[in-house]
Structure formats: structure tokens, C-alpha cells
Amino acid sequence: MSFPGGISFKLNHLIPDYEQVELLCSHINQQSHKSILSFCYDVVSQMRFGDTPDPQRQSIDRALFLVSSLKDKIYEILNVGRWSEVDENICKVFSVVTFLEAFFRLSQIPQNISIEKVLYDLDFGLMLGCPLSGTTNTTLTETIRIIEEMSPTSSATRKQKASVSHPYEGAKRSKFERESSSIVILQRPSVEHFHKNHFITQNPALLQECMDHWPAMKNWKQPGYLVSVGGERTVPIEIGSHYTNENWSQDLVKFKDFLNRQISDPHACDRIEYLAQHNLFDQIPALRNDILTPEYCCVGTSNETVDIKAWLGPKGTVSPMHHDPKHNLLCQVFGHKKIILAAPEDTPNLYPHQDQMLANTTQIDAENIDLDKFPLCSNVRFYNLNLYEGEMLYIPPKWWHYVRSMDKSFSGQRNVLSIIVVKIAETPRMYGFCPMECRRDIMVLMESVVSGHQFTKIRERLGDKLEIIRFDPYIQKMSLYRERKKIRSM
């Protein structure tokens, strides 16, 4: 008997080998996990070779119930302690059960299947899980690709016309800026020149005419294109002008809703939202096809793959002055940014936060320095520049950088704003969407008591459970939201 449902049949080749899953369970010493997964794989075998529909249907429903319960249990395990200390094998098991849950759900009677729910759960699995091997969670990304190809909803989204009729044209570098720049400007430098004069010496450089051949330079200027490629996907966004703001928070939203609010029609939203520090290109491989790894990445000595992350946000978003441990290439696709740099030797004069969590971030507002409060800043040499579309900025390790979006923009980066070049192993493994650890706060899931709409919110670990009144988009009016459960430590 064939698999029930067309989509689940297409997913057959993605089912992880049971021997590999069994080994994962032995690593985390969870016999109960192994028993449930063994039953699920028995059901998969029945689906492949069975010929009795009714018992098979009961087995599928039972497997779905058990694997969903197991996923909830593992989800709770992921929320205990610090995120960076979570056993990687648990994250791998979370990826497995996320896939199996989607597989069995898609094997149900078609009218009982919510494709939107399945895609949401798979995206969540990409955020919290990790690959069974390699650096890309191919099992989940390929599952999503197949679902989107076969789903009428996703097909309709792909056919949507762009919400903006003309490509966005951004500002350009003036002759005065070129002649007065405090950072060297290079037109398509050779790899040898970049390696000798900037990478080895760790001197910043602004690179021009190195991205003109990227498909993204044309495609991503049109928000309608981004919606057509990944509009139905769920992405983590950050809320607030910058992460040191006391009102800063996070939420999970559909990519198309974020784009419509912040890029297509920014007047429709009264808060600043931005997508940052997220593996968008692993989550939506079609977007990865629009960019090319800069040839300057080959100069690194690490055997790790290039780490590429995306930043997308509206005018006014700020990244406070901070430094990263890696070589960064900030590649600006559209829009432009104001950037202020300071060298590592000026660290004693830049007033880094004393809290270990923010030790790589200064207390100053780099654009409006209060010299009465921070007098040592008068000894710092700051480098001011604008980064325009089609330009790359090389930021060496430990160089301080402040960034403010001058208009809506899209750039690729590790952490906040650029493409990481080398030495990925220098920083701890982090597969989730939380940008940093915090000992005081936790992220909780809030749920409307009327419609079930959910969002995430940060609160103090020792604080009372939350109850708030806010606008519910599902019912288009105010509703009471109650804290449902803890998602993770911050």
C-alpha cells in the first residue's frame, strides 16, 4: 500500500535512518525517547508495506500523538539552563521529532491538514534544532521546499505581484565622500591585495563593485520578490531600536507580514521591527541562491564554512557600538547605513559594559557622546562613513562599530550586519534565535484567551506570570493575553 497523501509520499526519502536516531537517543540516555521513536518507525514501515488502511490510520494517529508529546517534552528540556550549554544531541533529536510530526500530520486525511501549522512547526524546528550532520538542516529545509511546491497556498503566494511597482533606488556616494573618506576605498581589489594590506594587518576597507553580479542586487530591492519566495515562512524578529533598549523584545511572525509592515508600508506600523542574527539563508535556501560568497572569504585559515546571516530593517534601527570576534564583510544590498568605527586599542576609552553579557558593547551613544559622563572618549579616534548599496565594508575582529540605518535596507551579516568570512569556531554554538545569554530574564509564550493568537515576550525570571491586554490581529480588537509557558532562558 502506498503512503496516504501525496506530500508525505514525497517526503519518504528524507526520513532519517533509524540507526542514526537510535544512536542519538543513546547519547542523551533517554530510553523513553527511543521507545516512542521505535514505534514511529514501525508505523513508517507499515505505511510503506502495509495493506490494511483502517489499522494503519489508527497507527498514524497514535504515532502523531506520541511524537507530538515527545516534541513538547524535548522542548521543555531545551528551556532548562543556558541555551549555549544545551546538549547538541538533544537539538538533533528535536529536528528528528519535528520532521516526524510533520510527516505524520501530512499523512492525515487532507481536510484535516493545516499546511500553515505544519510550516510554522518546521520553521520552529529549524530555529531550535540542529542538523543531524553537516551545517545545514537539509531534512527540514527540503521538507519545507516540497510542501511549498505542492501547497496551493504557497503557490498562490509565489504568484503574488510585487507590492511596489518600481525597484527601490537608494542614495549614492558623493565625490566629496570619496575624496574625504577616513577609510580606504578600493574598487574590486585583488584577493592578494586584500589579504596583504587588510586581512593580515586587520585594517578596515570599503570595497566597491564587488557585488554588481549578485542576483540579489536586482531581486531584493523589490519587497514583492521576498514575499513570493518566503512570505509564508515564520521568522524571529527583534522589536525596538536596539538590543540594549529596556523595551527591546522578540516575536515570531510571518515573513510577509514583517515585510509589509516595515518595508512596503512602514507607516502601517508604529514600532521598529527588524530581522537580525538569524540564519535566513539556511531557512530559505532560495534566497541564498541570490547571493555569492565573496572571493575574499578564501583568505581565511579556518576550515569552517562561511557563516552568512541576514539583517533587514527600517530606517532608524541602531546597532550600538560593539565588536565581534570574527572577520566581517558587511554587504549592503539596498538602502544605506551610517557607520562609526573605532580601533581595538581604544577599548579602554570606550566604556564597555561591565556585565559579561554585554562586555562587547559600549555604554556610549556613538553619534551623541556625552563627554561629561564619558570623558575618555575625547581620546578616541572615530572613523565616520556611510555604506551604500553595492558596497562591502571589511570590519576586522575586535574593531568597534556602530551602525544606524538611514533608510530601509537589506544586508547580510553574522550577528547584526555582515557576512562572516572566517574562523566560525571562535564563537559558541548557537542554533536558536536568541542573540545572547542573560541570567536575569526568560522568554515566555503569550496567548490570547479569545483567539489563541500567540507572541513571545521577555520578562524577569523571578517575576510573576504575565497577563496583559493588547490588540489581537485574529479578531481585530483588544484581547486578554495570558502567559502560557516559558520558551527559554535569555
What CATH number should be reported for the domain holding residue 450? Answer: 2.20.28.120
Domain-ending residue, one of 426, 458, 480: 426
The helix/strand count (H/E) of the chain reads as 15, 18
**Which whole number is the average pLDDT over 214-233?**
83
Q: Going by C-beta distance under 8 Å and a sequence separation of 6 or more, which residues neighbour residue 276?
A: 238, 309, 310, 311, 312, 313, 415, 416, 417, 435
Q: Looking at the domain assignment, is residue 166 inside a domain?
A: no
Instruction: Look at residue 302 in the predicted model and tell me its pLDDT.
Output: 62
Terminal Cα-to-Cα distance of the chain (whole angstroms): 48
- Do 416 and 377 share a structural domain? yes
Q: Return the top range by mean pLDDT from 167-171, 284-288, 304-308.
A: 284-288
- Quickly count: other Cβ atoms within 10 Å of residue 260's Cβ: 18
Q: Which CATH number goes with the domain that contains 199? A: 2.60.120.650
Which ranges constitute the DSSP H helices of 107-161?
Answer: 115-128, 138-150, 152-158
pLDDT(348) > 90: yes
Instruction: Look at residue 193 in the predicted model and tell me its pLDDT.
Output: 94
Buried/exposed code over 375-403 (b: 16+ C-beta within 10 A; e: otherwise): eebeebebbebbbbbbbbbbbbbebbbbb
Domain-ending residue, one of 157, 189, 209: 157
Tell me the residue range of the domain where 60 lies. Answer: 6-157
Instruction: Look at residue 426 in the predicted model and tell me its pLDDT.
Output: 29
Q: Looking at the domain assignment, is residue 362 inside a domain?
A: yes
Beta 234-239 vs 477-489: how paired, if at all?
A: unpaired
Q: Looking at the domain assignment, is residue 167 inside a domain?
A: no
**Which whole number is the average pLDDT over 295-318?**
75
- Do 445 and 419 share a structural domain? no
Instruction: Look at residue 444 in the predicted model and tell me its pLDDT.
Output: 80
Instruction: Look at residue 429 in the predicted model and tell me its pLDDT.
Output: 32
- Do 152 and 99 share a structural domain? yes
- Quickly count: other Cβ atoms within 10 Å of residue 313's Cβ: 27
Rounded CA separation 136/11 (Å): 18
Q: What is the tens place of the pLDDT at every residue in 407-459? A: 655 554 422 223 322 222 223 333 334 333 333 567 788 888 888 888 878 77
Q: Looking at the domain assignment, is residue 258 inside a domain?
A: yes
Rounded CA separation 273/314 (Å): 7
- Do 303 and 340 share a structural domain? yes
- Do 445 and 405 share a structural domain? no
Q: Looking at the domain assignment, is residue 1 inside a domain?
A: no
- Quickly count: other Cβ atoms within 10 Å of residue 248's Cβ: 15
The least confident of 29-43, 163-177, 308-322 is 163-177
Q: Looking at the domain assignment, is residue 50 inside a domain?
A: yes
Instruction: Look at residue 205 in the predicted model and tell me its pLDDT.
Output: 95
Instruction: Look at residue 407 in the predicted model and tell me its pLDDT.
Output: 63
Print the SS3 string covering 14-74. Answer: HCCCHHHHHHHHHHHCCHHHHHHHHHHHHHHHHHHHCCCHHHHHHHHHHHHHHHHHHHHHH
- Do 257 and 318 share a structural domain? yes
Q: Looking at the domain assignment, is residue 29 inside a domain?
A: yes
The least confident of 10-14, 40-44, 247-251, 281-285 is 247-251
| Pair 84, 428: CB distance under 8 Å | yes
Whole-number average pLDDT of the chain: 78
- Do 344 and 284 share a structural domain? yes
The least confident of 70-74, 170-174, 217-221 is 170-174
Residue 32's pLDDT band, with cuts at 50, 70 and 90, is confident
Instruction: Look at residue 78 in the predicted model and tell me its pLDDT.
Output: 81
Q: Looking at the domain assignment, is residue 109 inside a domain?
A: yes
Number of domains in the chain: 3
Instruction: Look at residue 127 in the predicted model and tell me its pLDDT.
Output: 86
Q: What percent of the chain has pLDDT over 90?
A: 21
Q: What is the tens place of the pLDDT at every residue in 57-103? A: 788 889 999 999 999 888 888 877 666 678 888 899 999 999 999 99
**Which whole number is the average pLDDT over 359-388?**
93
pLDDT(324) > 70: yes
Q: Return the top range by mean pLDDT from 38-52, 166-180, 193-207, 314-328.
A: 193-207
Q: What is the tens place of the pLDDT at every residue in 396-410? A: 999 999 998 876 555
Instruction: Look at residue 375 in the predicted model and tell me its pLDDT.
Output: 95
- Do 482 and 376 share a structural domain? no
Domain-ending residue, one of 391, 426, 461: 426
- Do 420 and 484 share a structural domain? no
If we measure between CA atoms, which residue out of 474, 466, 475, 473 comes closest to residue 446? 466
- Do 13 and 142 share a structural domain? yes
- What are the strands, taking DSSP E only, across 255-306? 273-278
- Do 144 and 10 share a structural domain? yes
- Do 201 and 149 share a structural domain? no
